[in-house]
């Protein structure tokens, strides 16, 4: 049964290290982490904010507060998933503190505002640098990718003792807003409200020039960005682009969507390649997060996914190319919204989180990579925990070895006073036990096939043509209707079958 064990981590509060680079409340954090450890969790996940570490100026890194935090985590006996958080904290769902990207980087935007993502009205989004500047040496002579690369190299140098001790086991590379590989298409700071379709946000001069060059090279210099894609809070039918027989189906619309989503693939691939070089030889896994944009999934246009950069339609898989790209870096695909059920969503959003999760996880498994996940919203109830457990082992446990389909890990969002409240925490501890397939906490990762080998150099680059072969639309793998290890004592399919067998033989 240990081969059915899925480790569980808990995300720390966003401001555990403050914007001023101070690890506050150490005593209280020690109590909380000790309680979590006693509850059986395997480790924690924490944002390591670029805006905190390199705040004082180019290459002036200060890791001292995070070192204090990591020493505490190591002392308690937990593992660390570290997020290279190159995005702003503030402006997204659940953000309760404000940590912008470094001021000296934002200062470049005073004279060149096109370093930031821009919508068609010219409004700038300062959550994350536009991927249009990935190769522009605008930051004291460095490109955006060089900024990220140097940061990760400094992290390795300054955290080498934690890496060598096997305390830091996972490096999640931030690739966009909220750390996710996507465009900031639905920013609350600009007035987005669920379930708005969001906006294409590629109107900075660097991405516009890139598109014009791509269109000219394709023999279509007349192609332009969509003019009929609506605004943040529209529905698909409000627009010409996403409506029935909309522009997204035309040759020009398809060219734009391919370019828009391919830019994201290339961005992720190039930064993960830098991460691979930075952590080469370390016993860690690399990971990247993909956003669970479940609203309008049941609309033929998948509008909210398209504006975020996931070119996902019926018959065209927008997620498996990401998994294929990750495969060359031995990367884990980390997906969100594991706790959500279709029936919990408002009918007008045409939302289908369950189908979305099945599609994305199946695509990862088809590409032979590890998949991990998170809940999107804080939940403390059995319904949410059971849905997570179902997604973690979609066809249940296998008493004779590892299940055919099983997630690599799960990160619970997030540590809070509400989670540690007695009733909530009692149920959470049961959830942890079920994640571990009813086994006790196991400190030996080898026993559940999670022992880490030194990170190898990324495999040869996969051409965009080969990445796009993974867009073929295939049905997801089979999923049980309920988990076989529920937290509330109800029995799922396999549990019910086992009970029947027992009753036959042990009357």
Per-residue confidence (pLDDT) for residue 502, from 0 to 100: 40
Question: Cα 40–45–49 angle (5° rounding)?
Answer: 160
Mean pLDDT across the stretch 87-108?
87
Q: CA-to-CA distance for 77 and 82, rounded, in angstroms?
A: 16
Q: CA-to-CA distance for 306 and 501, rounded, in angstroms?
A: 48
Q: CA-to-CA distance for 141 and 420, rounded, in angstroms?
A: 47
- Residue 506's contacts (CB-CB under 8 Å, 6 or more residues apart) are none
- Name the burial class of residue 352, with classes exposed (0-12), middle (13-18) and buried (19+) by CB atoms within 10 angstroms of its CB: buried
- Residue 188's contacts (CB-CB under 8 Å, 6 or more residues apart) are 91, 92, 93
Q: Are 289 and 172 in contact (CB under 8 A)?
A: yes
Q: At what angle do helices 422-435 and 382-392 cross, to 10 degrees?
A: 20
- Residue 405's contacts (CB-CB under 8 Å, 6 or more residues apart) are 361, 365, 393, 394, 395, 477
**Cα end-to-end span (Å), the chain:** 26
Per-residue confidence (pLDDT) for residue 489, from 0 to 100: 79
Q: CA-to-CA distance for 383 and 379, rounded, in angstroms?
A: 9
Per-residue confidence (pLDDT) for residue 283, from 0 to 100: 98
- Give tens-digit pLDDT for 20-39: 999 999 999 999 999 999 99
Place of tokens 């000790």: 34
- Give tens-digit pLDDT for 396-448: 999 999 999 999 999 999 999 999 999 999 999 999 999 999 999 999 999 99
Per-residue pLDDT for 497 more than 80? Answer: no
Backbone angles phi, psi at 209, to 5 degrees: -65, -40
**Contacts by 223-227, CB closer than 8 A, 24 or more apart:** 223/252, 223/255, 223/256, 224/252, 225/120, 225/200, 225/256, 226/200, 226/253, 226/256
Residues recognised as catalytic = 180, 374
Per-residue pLDDT for 260 more than 60? Answer: yes
Closest CA to 20 of 59, 52, 47: 52
Per-residue pLDDT for 496 more than 50? Answer: no
Mean pLDDT across the stretch 53-66?
98
Closest CA to 305 of 365, 238, 360, 244: 360
Q: CA-to-CA distance for 127 and 188, rounded, in angstroms?
A: 11
- Residue 382's contacts (CB-CB under 8 Å, 6 or more residues apart) are 427, 486, 487, 488
Per-residue pLDDT for 504 more than 60? Answer: no
- Give tens-digit pLDDT for 166-203: 999 999 999 999 999 999 999 998 999 999 999 999 99
Q: What are the tokens at 58? A: 């180019």
Average pLDDT along the chain? 95
pTM of the model: 0.95
Mean pLDDT across the stretch 276-303?
98
Q: What percent of the chain has pLDDT over 70?
A: 95
Closest CA to 163 of 452, 409, 483, 469: 452
Per-residue pLDDT for 490 more than 60? Answer: no
Question: Cα 386–387–389 angle (5° rounding)?
Answer: 60
Q: CA-to-CA distance for 19 and 53, rounded, in angstroms?
A: 9
Question: Percentage helix, strand, coil, to 5, in the chain?
Answer: 40, 10, 45
Coil, strand or helix at 409: strand
Backbone angles phi, psi at 201, to 5 degrees: -135, 65
Say whether the peptide bond before residue 195 is cis (omega within 30 degrees of 0): yes
Per-residue pLDDT for 491 more than 80? Answer: no
- Name the burial class of residue 505, with classes exposed (0-12), middle (13-18) and buried (19+) by CB atoms within 10 angstroms of its CB: exposed
Consecutive H or E run containing 285 = strand 285-290
Provide the phi-psi class of 483: left if phi over 0, else alpha when psi is between -120 and 50, else beta.
Answer: beta
- Residue 494's contacts (CB-CB under 8 Å, 6 or more residues apart) are 396, 397, 480, 484
Residue 492's pLDDT band (boundaries 50, 70, 90)?
Answer: very low
Per-residue pLDDT for 344 more than 50? Answer: yes
Coil, strand or helix at 175: coil
Residue 96's pLDDT band (boundaries 50, 70, 90)?
Answer: confident
Per-residue confidence (pLDDT) for residue 95, from 0 to 100: 62
Mean pLDDT across the stretch 88-109?
87
Per-residue confidence (pLDDT) for residue 129, from 0 to 100: 98
Per-residue pLDDT for 498 more than 50? Answer: no
């Amino acid at each position: 049964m240990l081969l059915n064990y899925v480790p569980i981590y808990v995300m720390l509060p966003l401001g555990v290290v403050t914007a001023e680079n101070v690890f506050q409340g150490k005593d209280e954090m020690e109590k909380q982490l000790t309680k979590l450890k006693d509850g059986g969790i395997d480790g924690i996940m924490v944002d390591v904010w670029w805006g905190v570490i390199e705040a004082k100026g180019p290459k002036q890194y200060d890791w001292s507060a995070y070192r204090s935090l990591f020493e505490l985590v190591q002392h308690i006996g937990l593992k660390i998933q570290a997020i290279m958080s190159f995005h702003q904290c503030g402006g997204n769902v659940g953000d309760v503190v404000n940590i912008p990207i470094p001021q000296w980087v934002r200062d470049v935007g005073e004279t060149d505002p096109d370093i930031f993502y821009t919508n068609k009205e010219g409004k700038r989004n300062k959550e994350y640098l536009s991927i249009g500047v990935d190769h522009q040496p605008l930051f004291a002579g460095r490109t955006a990718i060089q900024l990220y690369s140097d940061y990760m190299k400094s992290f390795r140098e300054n955290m080498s003792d934690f890496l060598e001790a096997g305390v830091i086991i996972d490096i999640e590379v931030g690739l966009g807003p909220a750390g996710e590989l996507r465009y900031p298409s639905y920013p609350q700071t600009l007035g987005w409200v669920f379930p708005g379709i969001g906006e294409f946000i590629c109107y900075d001069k660097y991405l516009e020039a890139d598109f014009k060059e791509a269109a000219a090279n394709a023999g279509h210099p007349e192609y332009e960005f969509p003019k009929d894609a609506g605004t943040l809070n529209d529905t698909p039918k409000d627009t010409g682009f996403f409506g029935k027989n909309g522009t997204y189906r035309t040759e020009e619309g398809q060219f734009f969507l391919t370019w828009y989503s391919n830019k994201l693939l290339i961005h992720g691939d190039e930064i993960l390649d830098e991460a691979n070089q930075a952590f080469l030889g370390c016993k860690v896994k690399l990971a990247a997060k993909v956003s669970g944009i479940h609203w309008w999934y049941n609309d033929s246009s998948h509008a909210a996914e398209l504006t975020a950069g996931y070119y996902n339609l019926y018959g065209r898989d927008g997620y498996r190319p990401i998994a294929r790209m990750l495969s060359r870096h031995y990367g884990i695909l980390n997906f969100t919204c594991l706790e959500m059920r279709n029936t919990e969503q408002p009918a007008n959003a045409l939302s289908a989180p369950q189908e979305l999760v099945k599609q994305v996880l199946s695509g990862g498994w088809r590409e032979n990579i590890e998949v991990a996940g998170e809940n999107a919203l804080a939940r403390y109830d059995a319904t949410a925990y059971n849905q997570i457990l179902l997604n973690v082992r979609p066809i249940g446990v296998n008493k004779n070895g590892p299940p055919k389909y099983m997630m690599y890990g799960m990160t619970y969002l997030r540590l809070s006073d509400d989670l540690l409240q007695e009733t909530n925490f009692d149920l959470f501890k049961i959830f942890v036990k079920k994640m571990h397939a009813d086994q006790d906490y196991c400190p030996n990762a080898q026993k559940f096939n999670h022992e880490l080998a030194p990170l190898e150099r990324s495999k040869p680059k996969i051409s965009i043509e080969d990445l796009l072969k993974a867009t073929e639309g295939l049905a997801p793998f089979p999923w049980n209707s309920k988990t076989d290890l529920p937290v509330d004592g109800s029995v799922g399919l396999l549990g019910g079958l086992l009970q029947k067998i027992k009753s036959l033989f042990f009357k």
